[in-house]
Structures are given as structure tokens and as C-alpha cells.
Chains A and B, each alone.
Chain A
Amino acid sequence: MQPPSLRIRILKFFNRHENTRAFSILFPCIFWIGIFFLLPLVFMGIYSFLERGLYGGVSWIFTWENYTRFVDPLYLKILLRTFRISFITTVILLFIGYPMAYRIARANKRWRNILLFLVILPFWTSDLIRTYAWMLILRDTGLLNGLLQYLHIIREPLTMLYTEGAILLGLTYVYLPFMVLPLYASIERLDPSLLEAAEDLGATPFWRFLKVTMPLTKSGILAGSLLVFIPSVGVFVVSDLLGGAKVMMIGNLVQLQFGPARNWPFGSAASFILMAIVLFAVFAYLRFAGGKEALEEAR
């Protein structure tokens, strides 16, 4: 008898080692994440415990200082502001995004495609350009102030740019699609006869929303909130352009440390603190809002 071909031998090997087979499929992905995500993270983790070099770079001396430095009220304030802005952005987007997604999901097929297209249309240009556009609108000599003055509603220009409000506006604008799309997906799946059944069983529109619509679209609410909240916490372009130096978010701090300040260890520490807090917040949120099931799913 002829010895089995290499192909057959490989197949037989995989039949005996199911786990190896699964691993071989995942290998490219694991390789990619390992090199381009985990490795840099490990470097940053190490850097965050080192001292800053005299001319940038790092000195290989162990220290806790980069973390203890964060207790400074200045940084705590930035941290707090970051979470406040991200939280408010998420809440505002839930209130804007839910009715929007609901309407799109319930529109007829032709309109649905047009509306969905309009939702993702802003992706065609970069955040940066769209944020610059907001600067033109909001600044003291900008479009909005000009219009209000022309209409004699105000005499002196209002300070709109470089405020927390401007950041909120920019973030809600930039992240709207991230809220609408997952909500749309979950609402579109909702069986209309369930809503009729609720009404039939005596539920007023509000009660129906509370007891049927919302629980059944929970996955969309959770996904949308996370997709908006997590990137908002780490944002720096929008807050840099619309908030400036006066209203700094933690993303700007990190950018500052890695850029102009050339303090990589402190920037790394800031990133790790941010990551730890976001991780904690997300798990707390899933546990609180999603119950055990959502937590399992997230895992």
C-alpha cells in the first residue's frame, strides 16, 4: 500500500487535534493583534513605570511617580470632565438617536435605504474637516454669531467656541451614526405584532415602550452607548479644535505628553489609567443595564 499523501496526513492530524485546527484558522488574527496591539501595549505598560529621559525618551529607572502624579487636582479635574462630557454625549445621543432609528426602521423600504444612506453620509469626509467646519460656525466672527447679530438678536458675539458646550455639540455630531446604526439594527428586528399584542393587552404607548420596546431593543441601546461612550472618552481631535487649551480632555493630555511635552512615561500612565477606568465603567454599565446575560455576551 502507498503511504498516504501529505494532504491526507495533514487532514488526519487536524481531525485528531480539533483545537489545533481552530487555532490555525485564528492564527493570522492572533499574529496581527499580537504584533500591532499587544506588543505596543506592553511597551507602554513598561514605559509608564520609567522616568522621563532628559531630552525625551525614557531613562530605565523604576518609579511610581507617573501614577501618583495623577492625584493632582488638575489632572483629576480633566479626568472628571472627560467622563462628564462622554456621559452627557451618550445620553443626548440616546435621546436623539432612538427616535431617529425608530423612524428609519419603521419607514417603508425605499425611504429606509435613503435615510440610512444619509446617516452614514458624513463618514465620506474626515472628522477633522467636519470639526473645522464647526469651528467656522461657532467662532466669535463665525456664521452663527454673524447671523444672530445680523438679526439683531445679540449685540456682542457669544463665546461658543472653546467651551464644553462646543465639545458636546461636536461629539454628538460626530458620533450620531454610531448610536443610530446599532439602534436601527435592533429596532428593525422587532416584530411589530409584539407591539400590537402589548397594546391589545391594555398597554398605553408609554407603558408599551417601557415594557416591550425598550427591553427588546436593549442590545441596540447597549451597543450604541458603548460605541459612543468609549471613543468619546479617548477623543482628542474634536476636543482639541472645539475645546482648545481651556477645556482639555484626557485624550488631549495624552497627546500633549507624547507630543510637545515629550513625556512618554507620563503619557503612558495616563493612557493606562484611562483604560482601567473605561474597562471598569463598561463592565459596571453592562452589569447594571444589561444584567448577567449582556455581561456573558460581552465576554
Chain B
Amino acid sequence: MDISVELKDVTKQFGDVTAVDNVNLEIQRGEFFSLLGPSGCGKTTTLRLVAGFEHPTEGEILINNEDVSNKRPYERNVNTVFQSYALFPHLTVAGNIRFGLERKKTPKDQINKLVAEALELVRLEGMENRYPRQLSGGQQQRIALARALILHPEVLLLDEPLGALDLKLRKEMQLELKTLQEKVGITFIYVTHDQEEALTMSDRIAVMEQGHLAQVGTPEEIYEFPKTRFVADFIGESNFFKGKIAAANEDCIKVKTDGGLSVTLPADPNLSVSRHIQFSVRPEKFMVESESGTSEWENRFVGEVTNKIYLGDSIHYVITLSHVEKIAVFLKKESAGNRQALFSEGDKVLVSWHRDDSVILAD
């Protein structure tokens, strides 16, 4: 597959602060790629480096196999949708959308045709002569999209474009953006701190932590097999266990956790006996039964419900295992043939999970 954007050993420093730290990335053409992380993790700086608003202190940025590291934004075939939309207040909707085309000296009747097409694409026909201040947030958002897409960039950069919208509109726009991206086939690089947004929309996600890449992968890989505690914690929720390896063979690893549980984990050739490790289990991976339960999974522990939160379609429990390890458990109410009954605080329960649902973390 074609590589649309490539970052080679890119580092960006502002004074003493290293905002982006030795990042290597290859983004495929037509891919919906998300940069995900908490604020200050360097995701926006990475985006601004690709846009050309910042220039790397070290390393190279290639767009369409051409080194653009030191080119200005107007010399790059890249367009940005800003968090604040940055629509020109003194221009009409049409004036905003045609701004880039006028610079390219496109003939006038062609411009008008393209503007009409762009407005149709974002479903805002007939808004040509409005001013941005007369539009709602969602409409402004779409104008910003149309303004960038009309130039057919190699890459479209989106900096938390849905951040200012209310929840319902955000959900709608997520779907719309994804559909739009598939339709136009342009590479999208999408910056967000909202893990759910990244999971639903992206083909691949890069999770960033303090300027470097913590993990790059498909939403499924990132969610199911987080490499580090940071990723497991940032994406969804996780229960973390620390422990020491008691036994290891080709089949499995036995770990004695700090809380005194004997847990069976999938085999890992890199790990040997008496190493200290950390692993995580997602809250929805647990099975909870009454004390006399029949689970055949190896990791089976008796615990006590210490907290219960009723959420309608699901129930969240906090369960204490062997008086020490507190875990969060999410249960779908209608799942598993309704075998899982409702428990109350103080109930003794049997908690179990499959060994493959324990993910060993690198740190």
C-alpha cells in the first residue's frame, strides 16, 4: 500500500520542553488515523508538524514521499480543520470555501461549481451567502470541512474537530465524518483525547504519552492487547494486578499476585520464573456467579461485593477478592443467557475469567 505520511525520528522541542519525542510513523493512503492521548501528550504538536505550522527540531516528515520538513503550510498539499473551525468572519460561507481555490487561480465558473459540490457534500446547500456567525456550531464545523476538502489535499488534518459540539451532535458527526472519509478516500489524521471517538472512527490509532508513541494499532489491538499500563488505563477501563511469576512453561504462566491470588496467564517465552510483572483484565471479561458457581475457568476466586452501581443496561460492581484485591466488574444485564443473577452489596460471589483475557503489560 501507498504511504501517505511518514514521520522519521521526529522530535520537536520548545525551549527545554520536548513536545514530540522521536516519533516514527507510517500512515497509509486513505487511512483514518487517530492520534489519541491526554492533553499535553504531543498529539496536537504532531499534527501541527504535519500541517507545517511547526517545524521539527530533528527528523524528517514526508508527505507523498517528499520531504516537507522545512516547507511552509502553503507549500504543502495538506489541509487542516481547526478545533475552533477558524472560519473567516468577514467572508460568507461561499467566500470561506472558495478561499483556497482563488489562490490556485481556478476559473470562476469552475469555482462556483466546486463550491456548490462541496456544500452538497456536507449537506449545506443554499447557505452560500450566510456569514459564519449566522450558523450553528455543527454547521460551522461542516463549512470548515468543506473548505479543506475542496482542495483535495493528500492528507486532511483534524484537530479535535468535534470538541466544541454537544454529545448528541458529536455522535452524529462521528458517523458522518467516517462516511465522508470513506467517500472521498482522503487520508485523515484525527487528533482527539476522546478514546471512544478514536475507537469508533479510526482504522488505526496511535496512543501518545508524553511526546512519544505508546502504541500504534487497530482499535481492536489497542483495546484487547494494550502494551503498557498507560494504554490499558487510557483506553477503556482496566483492573491492574502486580505479581511475581511462580511457574512458567510452554502452556501457561502462573503468577502469585501481591494480593495473594494465584492467577494463570497465557504463555510468554520472554518471561521466566520469579520475574515481577504487571497484567490487566478488562472489567467486562469477568464472569460472576453465586458462591456455588460452576465456572470451569482456571482463574476462579471467591470475593465479596463491596459496591454496586446500577446503569440500566449494565451493572458495575466493585468486588474484593481475598480481602485485598479490589476489582471493577461490568456485567451486561441480559448477557450469558441471563445466568448472571443480580447481586447486592455484601454478597459472597465466585468471580472467574479466562486466562487469555489477562494481558501482560510491558511496564
Residues of B within 8 A of A198 (CB): 88, 99
Any A CB within 8 A of the CB of B297: no
| A202 beta carbon closer than 8 Å to chain B | yes
Task: Known contacts A202-B74, A203-B74; decide if A196 and B53 are in contact (CB<8 Å).
Answer: yes
Complex Cα–Cα for A196 and B53 (A): 7
* 16 further contact pairs, Cβ within 8 A, besides A201-B79, A201-B151, A203-B74: A191-B84, A193-B84, A196-B86, A197-B80, A198-B99, A199-B53, A200-B51, A200-B73, A200-B78, A200-B79, A200-B80, A201-B74, A201-B100, A202-B74, A211-B99, A215-B90
Which of chain B's residues have a CB closer than 8 A to the CB of A193?
Answer: 82, 84, 86
A204 lies within 8 A of B74 (CB): yes
With both beta carbons as reference points, the residue of chain A lying nearest to B157 in the complex is identified as A200
CB pairs A–B below 8 angstroms (20 shown): A191-B84, A194-B89, A196-B53, A197-B86, A198-B88, A199-B73, A200-B52, A200-B78, A200-B79, A201-B74, A201-B103, A201-B147, A201-B151, A202-B74, A202-B151, A204-B74, A207-B103, A211-B99, A216-B89, A216-B90
Cβ of B104 and Cβ of A202 under 8 Å apart?
yes
- Chain A residue nearest to B77 (CB atoms) is A202
CB of A202 within 8 A of CB of B103, answer: yes
Spell out A's residues near B (CB within 8 Å): 191, 193-194, 196-204, 207, 211-212, 215-216
Contact with A along B90-111 (1 / 0, CB 8 A): 1000000001100110000000
Closest to A199 in B: B73
Chain B 189-210 interface residues, beta-carbon cutoff 8 Å to A: none
> How many residues of B are counted as interface, with CB atoms below 8 angstroms from the partner's CB atoms?
23
- In the complex the two chains form, what is the Cα distance from A212 to B74 in whole Å? 15
Chain A interface secondary structure, helix, strand, loop or mixed? helix
A198 to B80, CA, bound (A): 10
B72: Cβ under 8 A from any A Cβ: yes
Q: Choose among A193, A196, A200, A211 the residue with the greatest number of B CB atoms under 10 Å from its CB.
A: A200
Chain B residue nearest to A201 (CB atoms) is: B100
Closest-CB distance, B73 to chain A (whole angstroms) = 4
Least CB separation from B103: chain A residue: A202
The chain A residue sitting closest to B97, CB to CB, is: A201
How many Å lie between the Cα of A12 and that of B100 in the bound state? 59
Q: How far is the CB of A146 from chain B (nearest CB, A)?
A: 47
